[in-house]
Amino acid sequence: MKTLIIANWKMHYGPIKAGAWIRAFRRERLPKDVDIAVAVPHVSLAAARASLGRASIPALAAQNSFWIDDGAYTGETSPAMLLEFGVQYCLVGHSERRKNLGETDDMVAKKAAALQKSGIIPVICVGETEAQNKKGETNKVLRQQVSAAIADLKDGGKVSFVFAYEPVWAIGSGKPCPAQRAKEAHETIRSVVAKKFGAAHAQETIILYGGSVDARNIGEYVTTTGVNGALVGGASLDPRVFGLLCRAAMPT
């Protein structure tokens, strides 16, 4: 399975800066054995697509989607609209949305299913808070979030969804989750996927780690069994730093 690295710019870079980032990143030496995507704000998708031209690396990702293709849903963006930009992945249920916008497990499930149906790969973010972690509830929280998120997903015979384990306490904190602990969390996620889709499907499911990943620690994650790549926030904002990180994720 190829390592997958997804940049998550969060609410950074409007169209002008997004275009410049893509052009600068394209000048980086990019590893062939790593799949790379960049999750940009909706308003910057057109500029990012234009700067990419015919190039397909990095793949384009969105940070959110609604679950209906069109209608009276002011302010929302549908999977069909995202497809017009050639979006291949879309983040779903990032903890910042769960916390700041009240995104529930039910909404996450609907978004993931709608994206899968449209052919965009949902990247479903799950993870426990610091308080839950301290209470020893990590596995319980993960089982709940993952089983809810996959409730409406279909087994199309091929892997059409990705998970990102992002412990909330590790995001933007400079305190990454030790790789061995991430490994255990990934095993929990995989076991829930296996219950619904079978062991073989679960084995092929890409599960990323996210939370304070940088060019120095990426190597530890991608060499840990069951960790198939990373979702990268802060360390993706500078195209050169992100290029370095992608090269450091290359299998040796």
Options 53-61, 70-78, 195-203, 229-237: segment touching ligand PGA (CB under 6 A): 229-237
- The nearest distance, CB 173 to ligand PGA, in angstroms, is 7
How big is the site for ligand PGA, counted in residues (CB under 6 A)? 13
Strand partners, 109: none
**40 touching ligand PGA, by CB under 6 A:** no
Buried/exposed 202-241: b ≥16 CB within 10 Å, e otherwise: beebbbbbbbbbbbebbebbbebebbbbbbbbbbbbebeb
> Which amino acid is located at 211 in the chain?
G
**212 touching ligand PGA, by CB under 6 A:** yes
**38 touching ligand PGA, by CB under 6 A:** no
Options 45-53, 61-69, 102-110, 208-216: segment touching ligand PGA (CB under 6 A): 208-216
Q: Whole-angstrom Cα distance, residue 134 to residue 130?
A: 6
Options 107-115, 145-153, 181-189, 209-217: segment touching ligand PGA (CB under 6 A): 209-217
At CA 176, angle to CA 174 and CA 182, rounded to 5? Answer: 165
Among 115, 185, 193, 232, binds ligand PGA (CB under 6 A): 232
Q: Whole-angstrom Cα distance, residue 171 to residue 153?
A: 27
Q: Report the largest interatomic distance among the alpha carbons of the chain, rounded to a whole angstrom.
A: 51
Strand partners, 39: 8, 61
Residue 186 is among the residues annotated as catalytic for this protein:
no
**171 touching ligand PGA, by CB under 6 A:** yes
- The nearest distance, CB 155 to ligand PGA, in angstroms, is 27
Among 41, 211, 229, 239, binds ligand PGA (CB under 6 A): 211
Find all residues with CB under 8 Å of 229, minimum gap 6, and list them: 3, 4, 5, 6, 34, 35, 206, 208, 209, 221, 222, 249
Which of these is catalytic: 96, 103, 128, 166? Answer: 166
Residue 96 is among the residues annotated as catalytic for this protein:
no
- Is the CB of 19 or the CB of 211 nearer to ligand PGA? 211
Residues 172-201 that bind ligand PGA (CB under 6 A): 172
- The nearest distance, CB 239 to ligand PGA, in angstroms, is 15
Q: Whole-angstrom Cα distance, residue 219 to residue 213?
A: 10
The residues annotated as belonging to the active site are 94, 166
